[in-house]
Structure 1
């Protein structure tokens, strides 16, 4: 059956200026686009001048973390601004009081935003309970904190050695504080938490489907694919069978691959293994990004992957025809990636072979190196970071470094394919993966605290939307998405406001009235 839509403001997505007012859908795909006056169909669906965009794509996010977070507690502004408020919020968690085997989970705290200006400790979380394990992700999702029950389940005590690439914070007497710095240390708690049943993880993923559709998101890049305790692809396959809708490209963490292990691109338009994820460093807000200059505290950040290991990972990606998605936030880490890869020939034809995730600090020299490289790079960057973490960036970067932060306009002028994404839930904001907060930040360069961040790097609304549609589809390999051209999947979002004509201050208040997937309405905002 063919459906016709008329009287809309339909952004086709092929360029910044391509609009139509009508389109047709047949067998889940766009079959025709044009103008309303060309249509003679009494059963046409009247869009009543609403704005329509191609379905949005978050090409760098952490859906498994989000699935867990949705049943956990947001420990973020504007709701949680102190450790005492965090304790109260955790006591109000639906998991509280559900028994000794039920983990209480939270996410999103940033010690710089807490009134106490420190990380919560095991002693703080034990004020919530010592009967149930508690696990809370820091805003960067690299570090975490647990209570005494969680530490005990993970077998962590004062004699536990630091894992390679991570650090167990300790009180002066050697007792663990509960704070697990960086991914390797957090994994000690996560492995204990993974004792929860696989069926619960699947159900959490299924439950998260509506969350994406409410945000107009129809496709996602899973940037923390894991092989243990089970393959992430299997988790998604089973979740799709039970109703999970968004398409997904999965990137497996390279450090989890065993020597000699193969990992080939598999899957289809719905689910696919797209690449490997390589961690170069940590985060700026956590003072663990590898910067060329020390932090005010004297810390130098961490380099998790040296050049030799990076070359080995790149060769693995080449051999298996996978993308190499490289987490690099600090300027020293980014420079090492460029120096190691700029003279390599791309091995993928239809998308960047190397993605630099975050690309938080880019100098003119780096951009020039990108423009003259043999390699074709993708830059997946997150304006939500400076929006939500401005204070941390101001505190931890020199004025000269701060001027290099999230240079989106300069990225768009480069040879690299640039996209916007969320890295959710890895930032201290209650709606970390709202595309419209990211668009607001990219266009206005205004942070949540009203600070203006490098206004010369502001981009236009159409450019920001392309960063969530056409360009996001290209970097993530979503070949049937990104535009509303004939033959593409009929995945689109109908907005509550005309995002192209509202004031810049209203951009963050734009949201989805309806989300359509393969020609079917899969989300409709309640009229209440």
Structure 2
């Protein structure tokens, strides 16, 4: 048993509750209060006046992609501003020159930020290597590009048909140009890569544990669970055996569940759960594939990836298995289809949101009112890092009226349970899942380029913290996380500065100096 005292401990019970001491026994908080009244029969840890928050929760992220990214190349500004920069960065990858079976990987490019204002092609990547496969995620992680070796390993030729919901890019000659548009096409390369590298994937996933802990993230939502080429559950169970520590909730992609003939497996690790079904309604705004009611300047309206009938089939599966339905919907047309299909359904998970709308990027007043009034209990999970890092794309692709409906976090929070998250590494920023950069963006509504994004939708610092703690726990059904009060996990972080009082434009400079799980120190900067 341990008493932690002399701290500014934000318990997240309310927007103002702080205490100076707490006691943790057997991994759980059993008492909070003032240091003078702390139990005297425990080991004492002096917090030295530091600010303490409950362990942070990133309930929409892509740990497998993060694992790839951490040993891959960041193709993001300010270091990569052109395709030539990208080629140079890839040649500096530790994987470069390591043999024909070693993939060179990168992530984060946004063609609108490259000097050439185009997507790199197979020809560009072949200038780096034709003997090693190369794979690079676009910033949204929906689309990607591969070199000729990667295309060959995936069996992609001029005659390969487009997968449902995706598109294989081609040169005018008909030969594949390396660009794999949207998730279904990108998965063709990912499956080829992962089929060769399960043990490598386990090692990389295990190594991400430190990445999460140094960001104060004690629980994560894996929003891209797969059954092929191997089960994501197997990946995590193997990683836990090797020392992976954050609590994980897996959401399986619906397309890989709907034809499932055998029952879902139950995890063997206490910190690993099968939490939901993931459905894609559309793509991304920066990729002009989010499904919008008003066309983009190019005349495109985005892509509609899931019909109402298919969405309802996924909802039925989620209900039968007592799981959440998590729906990726960025454009207003995509979100409206979700509401039209599910608003009148009877919730099946009690106080936990049965339906999560992921991103919920463009929301009109009417849609917010519908969410608030619906019989369905919705959870909204959005990403302030997008308004911070992708402002130029949103300004370019949205009209002024559309832009006013983007990332309405304050209004979202008034309509339904709302959580903040990263969707990492799916944005062109070198630290895509730094929670304090996201909090700063939510509070200041100021993008990295200085543009102010709908200032009237700003939330307070404590609300931003709750978006990564108590509110996130409620949205994700993590009943014993997100707060520091008796009966809850003794998971917490110690900060380099008082995020609750620092100047708003300095929030993003906050670092985690210690992360504790169950009252045990697991990371120290």
Class of the TM-score when normalised by the shorter of the 2 chains: over 0.9
Residues in 2 aligned to 1:39 and 1:420: alpha-carbon distance in whole angstroms:
33
Describe the superposition over 1:429-477 as per-residue Cα deviations: whole angstroms up to 9, x where unpaired.
0000000010010000010111000000000000000000001111222
- Conserved 8 A contact 1:265-1:320: no
The answer to whether structure 1 residue 357 and structure 2 residue 366 are counterparts is no
User: Which residue of the partner structure matches residue 169 of structure 1?
Assistant: 169
User: Which residue of the partner structure matches residue 99 of structure 1?
Assistant: 99
User: Which residue of the partner structure matches residue 12 of structure 1?
Assistant: 11
Structure 2 CA distance for partners of 1:44 and 1:114, relative to 1, 3 Å: same
Describe the superposition over 1:152-186 as per-residue Cα deviations: whole angstroms up to 9, x where unpaired.
11121222221111111111111211000001111
Query: Post-superposition shift, 1:269?
Result: 4.7
Describe the superposition over 1:274-295 as per-residue Cα deviations: whole angstroms up to 9, x where unpaired.
0100000100000001000111
Residues in 2 aligned to 1:39 and 1:260: alpha-carbon distance in whole angstroms:
53
Residues in 2 aligned to 1:477 and 1:410: alpha-carbon distance in whole angstroms:
22
User: Which residue of the partner structure matches residue 44 of structure 1?
Assistant: 44
- Conserved 8 A contact 1:265-1:322: no
SS in 1 for 2:333: helix
- Conserved 8 A contact 2:195-2:229: no
- Conserved 8 A contact 2:22-2:38: no
**What TM-score does the superposition give when structure 1 sets the normalisation length?**
0.97
SS in 2 for 1:195: helix
Residues in 2 aligned to 1:234 and 1:260: alpha-carbon distance in whole angstroms:
17
The answer to whether structure 1 residue 331 and structure 2 residue 328 are counterparts is no
Residues in 1 aligned to 2:357 and 2:315: alpha-carbon distance in whole angstroms:
13
Structure 2 CA distance for partners of 1:299 and 1:208, relative to 1, 3 Å: same
Residues in 1 aligned to 2:186 and 2:307: alpha-carbon distance in whole angstroms:
21
Query: Post-superposition shift, 1:37?
Result: 1.8
- What stretches of structure 2 of length at least 5 have no aligned partner? none
User: Which residue of the partner structure matches residue 397 of structure 2?
Assistant: 396
Describe the superposition over 1:90-111 as per-residue Cα deviations: whole angstroms up to 9, x where unpaired.
0000000001110000001011
User: Which residue of the partner structure matches residue 321 of structure 1?
Assistant: 322
1:225-374 to 2 correspondences below 5 Å: 225-259=225-259, 261=261, 264=264, 266-267=266-267, 269-374=270-375
1:125-136 to 2 correspondences below 5 Å: 125-136=125-136
Query: Post-superposition shift, 1:264?
Result: 5.0
User: Which residue of the partner structure matches residue 3 of structure 1?
Assistant: 2
Residues in 2 aligned to 1:101 and 1:441: alpha-carbon distance in whole angstroms:
41
Residues in 1 aligned to 2:420 and 2:359: alpha-carbon distance in whole angstroms:
9
- Conserved 8 A contact 1:481-1:488: yes
1:185-204 to 2 correspondences below 5 Å: 185-204=185-204
User: Which residue of the partner structure matches residue 35 of structure 1?
Assistant: 34
Query: Post-superposition shift, 1:259?
Result: 2.7
Residues in 2 aligned to 1:263 and 1:224: alpha-carbon distance in whole angstroms:
19
User: Which residue of the partner structure matches residue 57 of structure 1?
Assistant: 57
Query: Post-superposition shift, 1:127?
Result: 1.2
Structure 2 CA distance for partners of 1:362 and 1:263, relative to 1, 3 Å: farther
Residues in 2 aligned to 1:231 and 1:167: alpha-carbon distance in whole angstroms:
25
Residues in 1 aligned to 2:505 and 2:28: alpha-carbon distance in whole angstroms:
35
- Conserved 8 A contact 2:3-2:39: no
User: Which residue of the partner structure matches residue 77 of structure 2?
Assistant: 77
- Conserved 8 A contact 1:265-1:275: no
Residues in 2 aligned to 1:405 and 1:325: alpha-carbon distance in whole angstroms:
20
Describe the superposition over 1:181-215 as per-residue Cα deviations: whole angstroms up to 9, x where unpaired.
00111111112112323211111111000000000
Describe the superposition over 1:216-246 as per-residue Cα deviations: whole angstroms up to 9, x where unpaired.
0000000000011221112111111110000
Residues in 1 aligned to 2:155 and 2:34: alpha-carbon distance in whole angstroms:
65
SS in 1 for 2:180: strand
Query: Post-superposition shift, 1:261?
Result: 3.5
- Across the two proteins, how many residue pairs are aligned to each other? 523
User: Which residue of the partner structure matches residue 159 of structure 2?
Assistant: 159
Residues in 1 aligned to 2:307 and 2:465: alpha-carbon distance in whole angstroms:
35
Residues in 2 aligned to 1:161 and 1:146: alpha-carbon distance in whole angstroms:
17
Residues in 1 aligned to 2:498 and 2:264: alpha-carbon distance in whole angstroms:
42
Query: Post-superposition shift, 1:522?
Result: 0.5
Describe the superposition over 1:108-167 as per-residue Cα deviations: whole angstroms up to 9, x where unpaired.
101111111111111111111111000000011110000111111112122222111111
Residues in 1 aligned to 2:522 and 2:7: alpha-carbon distance in whole angstroms:
19
User: Which residue of the partner structure matches residue 457 of structure 1?
Assistant: 457
SS in 1 for 2:195: coil
- Conserved 8 A contact 1:269-1:478: no
Query: Post-superposition shift, 1:371?
Result: 1.3
Residues in 2 aligned to 1:204 and 1:279: alpha-carbon distance in whole angstroms:
26
- Conserved 8 A contact 1:13-1:484: yes
Residues in 1 aligned to 2:274 and 2:330: alpha-carbon distance in whole angstroms:
24
SS in 1 for 2:490: coil
User: Which residue of the partner structure matches residue 147 of structure 1?
Assistant: 147
**What TM-score does the superposition give when structure 2 sets the normalisation length?**
0.98
- Conserved 8 A contact 2:110-2:428: yes
- What stretches of structure 1 of length at least 5 have no aligned partner? none
User: Which residue of the partner structure matches residue 492 of structure 1?
Assistant: 492
SS in 2 for 1:68: helix
SS in 2 for 1:8: strand
Query: Post-superposition shift, 1:40?
Result: 6.4
Residues in 1 aligned to 2:524 and 2:349: alpha-carbon distance in whole angstroms:
38
